[in-house]
Amino acid sequence: MEFTAEQIAGLLQGDVDGNPSASVNGLAKIEEGNEGSLSFLSNPKYEEFIYTTGSSICIVNKTFSPSKALPTTLTLIRVDDAYACFAKLLEIYNSMNRKEPEIEQPSFIHDSATVGSDPYIGAFAYIGKNVKIGNNVQIYPNVVLGDNVQIGDNSILFANVSIYADCQIGNNVIIHSGTVIGSDGFGYAPDENRVYQKIPQIGNVVIEDDVEIGSNCSIDRATMGSTYIRKGVKIDNLCQIAHNVDVDQHTAMAAQVGIAGSAKIGKYVMIGGQTGIAGHLHIADDTKIVAQSGIPSTIKSADTLMGSPAFNHNDFKRSYIGFRKLPFILSKINEFERQFKELMKK
């Protein structure tokens, strides 16, 4: 599908600088653009590529002033915020690629399940008893929805997602392939013979609106009550969230984060990859945690943390400088000891 510079500028409320009839049929990074591609430039670090790009159209900030000649085949669309406008175009492009409403066969939908309008349900999907699916939901092949699961409007479950019984998924939620929602929490108690006995996990998982969860994540059901992923949370691939955890609104975590049971994560928290968070603690709103950190205890006020166990990142950096100097410091101590012994002999 082709769009002209004039049409794109109209969508973005921008100004055309060049040929308004220039057309594009695809998107590309500015350094990889070719004829028919649409690119954008917002970071000055990439400015050098605009002078050699093969793209036909490039979205730039209104403040952009070329330092040398642009390619004669390039048309600019000047906007207030190039990055935000390109993101808007990506969203439009993505919505155009939504699956057409269809229920593919073979798939299983229990007679007691209810499915809203305009669904896409892929082949080999399994939808259990009393499941409720909202409008415009996309369920890709091999998805399994256990009994009593609820899925809100406009949500997307990619291939091989499994949602165990009784879990609730809100509106506009995206869950990527291989993720498991509602598996049993890691609950065991040793008996008098020190043999672990399983503690039944009878709660569920509640995922609120506008959440996105990456591939191959595991979010465990609560022992009792609910594990909560609140509105607007973003979870990267390969994350583990244990039973009875509560992740509050608009928190984001990168890949391989592990959160132990009953931890409470505040609003707008940013968690770097491979961070481990102990159970039964609270992390304050607006906290930032650097990748590979370990959080063993409650964080009472917003801070930027680093290390394992984690503490203030500036203190950590100063400490690390001292740590790197340890070999030099030890050699100096050894030298002082040698000199002291020689003095004592004299």
pLDDT value at position 155? 97
- Tell me, yes or no, whether 301 and 207 share the same domain: yes
pLDDT digits (tens, 9 = 90+) for 296-333: 999 999 999 999 888 898 888 888 888 888 888 888 88
pTM: 0.84
Domain hosting 341: range is 316-345
Which CATH number does the domain housing residue 18 bear?
3.40.1390.10
Q: What angle do CA 96, 87, 246 make, to 5 degrees?
A: 95
- Tell me, yes or no, whether 113 and 42 share the same domain: no
- Tell me, yes or no, whether 161 and 197 share the same domain: yes
Catalytic center residues: 243
The 3-class secondary structure across 76-135, one letter per residue, is: EEEECCHHHHHHHHHHHHHHHCCCCCEECCCCEECCCCEECCCCEECCCCEECCCCEECC
pLDDT value at position 344? 86
- Tell me, yes or no, whether 305 and 325 share the same domain: no
- Tell me, yes or no, whether 175 and 109 share the same domain: yes
Domain termination residue (choose one: 68, 96, 124): 96
Number of domains in the chain: 3
Domain termination residue (choose one: 44, 77, 96): 96
- Tell me, yes or no, whether 27 and 159 share the same domain: no
- Tell me, yes or no, whether 114 and 89 share the same domain: no
- Tell me, yes or no, whether 53 and 161 share the same domain: no
Which CATH number does the domain housing residue 169 bear?
2.160.10.10
Pairwise CA distance, residues 290 & 271, whole Å? 7
Backbone angles phi, psi at 342, to 5 degrees: -65, -40
Pairwise CA distance, residues 105 & 125, whole Å? 9
- Using only C-alpha atoms, the chain has a radius of gyration, in whole angstroms, of 27
- Tell me, yes or no, whether 246 and 337 share the same domain: no
- Give pLDDT tens digits along the chain (346 positions): 789 999 999 999 999 999 999 999 989 999 999 999 999 999 999 999 999 999 999 999 999 999 999 999 999 999 999 999 999 988 888 877 788 999 999 999 999 999 999 999 999 999 999 999 999 999 999 999 999 999 999 999 999 999 999 999 999 999 999 999 999 999 999 999 999 999 999 999 999 999 999 999 999 999 999 999 999 999 999 999 999 999 999 999 999 999 999 999 999 999 999 999 999 999 999 999 999 999 999 999 999 999 988 889 888 888 888 888 888 888 888 988 888 888 888 7
Residue of 269, 180, 201 lying closest to 230 (CA atoms): 269
- Tell me, yes or no, whether 199 and 293 share the same domain: yes
Cα distances from 246 to residues 48, 99, 207, 227, 344, in angstroms, run 45, 33, 10, 6, 64
pLDDT digits (tens, 9 = 90+) for 105-160: 999 999 999 999 999 999 999 999 999 999 999 999 999 999 999 999 999 999 99
Domain termination residue (choose one: 48, 74, 96): 96
pLDDT value at position 317? 85
Residue of 253, 263, 244, 168 lying closest to 217 (CA atoms): 253
pLDDT value at position 318? 85
pLDDT value at position 266? 98
- Tell me, yes or no, whether 147 and 231 share the same domain: yes
- Tell me, yes or no, whether 18 and 45 share the same domain: yes
